């Protein structure tokens, strides 16, 4: 029906929710969106596809595609503070790859300094959380992730899994109990998010010394991640599991 604006807004929202729903589907929606943008010659359309598509790609494990996409867009002259999100996304990817994300985090912070929308502070904190986690600073990773959620509620399904993972890695059973309970009752839903909660419950069970429950929970999470095609999450859950079930 030639409702192009409606279609664009719907696609942005769908890719947004698929970040913790079915990221593989979100990635395909994003890739299709880039093709639509190219056919229309619309940079605005492509711009709207980048951020959500990259997070979906990270979960699926298509990191080379995400890196190439971000590098392509970040060679374009930065014209607005909204580009801060792309530097955040690249900072997360670089952190996961063991690379230095300092410059990307700094550039994102510089760009967002002129924005009053609090979500951009949450983006900044989300990048810092992953960078801290990759560097082994578990306390800072938790603090940044929890602060991101406190500022912007809809960062819960993005940042709360990392906050909980950080607490579980710290070995603090009391804090883990409370954090997993908060995570369970956060009010968001999605297939991938449900698996994140399953992995969190398994980690909590391991900290409490309940090996059989933990093993069963981790196995269920691993099967679920594989079923959704989430290679990174499957690998991360296996890393979570290994030292706790020795």
Percentage of the chain modeled with pLDDT above 70: 98
Checking 166-172 for CB contacts under 8 A at 24+ apart, the result is 166/129, 166/133, 166/138, 166/139, 166/141, 166/142, 167/142, 168/200, 168/203, 168/204, 168/206, 168/207, 168/240, 168/244, 169/138, 169/240, 170/138, 170/139, 170/142, 171/207
Q: What is the mean pLDDT of residues 99-110?
A: 95
pLDDT bracket for residue 80 (50, 70, 90): confident
**Alpha carbon distance 242, 230 (integer Å):** 19
What's the pLDDT at 114?
82
Other C-beta atoms closer than 10 Å to the C-beta of 10 total 12
What's the pLDDT at 194?
97
Q: What is the DSSP letter of 76?
A: S
- The per-residue pLDDT for range 212-238, each reduced to its tens digit, is 999 999 999 999 999 999 999 999 999
What's the pLDDT at 139?
96
- The per-residue pLDDT for range 10-63, each reduced to its tens digit, is 999 999 999 999 999 999 999 999 999 999 999 999 999 999 999 999 999 999
**Alpha carbon distance 30, 134 (integer Å):** 27
Residue 79 has pLDDT above 70, yes or no: no
What's the pLDDT at 246?
59
Residue 111 has pLDDT above 80, yes or no: yes
Residue 244 has pLDDT above 70, yes or no: no
């Amino acid at each position: 029906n030639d409702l192009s604006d409606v279609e664009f807004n719907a696609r942005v929202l769908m890719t947004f929710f698929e970040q913790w729903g079915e990221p593989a589907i979100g990635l395909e929606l994003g890739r299709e969106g880039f093709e639509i943008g190219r056919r229309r010659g619309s940079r605005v359309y492509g711009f709207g596809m980048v951020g959500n598509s990259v997070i979906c790609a990270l979960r699926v494990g298509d990191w080379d595609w995400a890196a190439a996409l971000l590098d392509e867009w970040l060679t374009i002259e930065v014209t607005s503070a909204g580009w801060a999100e792309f530097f955040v996304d690249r900072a997360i990817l670089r952190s996961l790859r063991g690379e230095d994300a300092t410059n990307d985090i700094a550039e994102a912070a510089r760009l967002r300094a002129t924005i009053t929308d609090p979500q951009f502070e949450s983006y900044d904190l989300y990048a810092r959380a992953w960078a801290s986690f990759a560097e082994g600073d578990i306390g800072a990773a938790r603090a940044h992730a929890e602060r991101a959620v406190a500022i912007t509620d809809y960062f819960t399904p993005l940042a709360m899994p990392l906050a909980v993972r950080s607490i579980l890695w710290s070995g603090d059973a009391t804090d883990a109990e409370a954090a997993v309970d908060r995570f369970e009752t956060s009010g968001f839903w999605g297939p991938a998010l449900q698996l994140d909660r399953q992995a969190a419950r398994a980690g909590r069970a391991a900290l409490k010394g309940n090996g059989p429950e933990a093993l069963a929970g981790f196995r269920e999470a691993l099967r679920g991640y594989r079923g959704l095609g989430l290679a990174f999450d499957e690998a991360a859950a296996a890393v979570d599991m290994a030292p706790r079930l020795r």
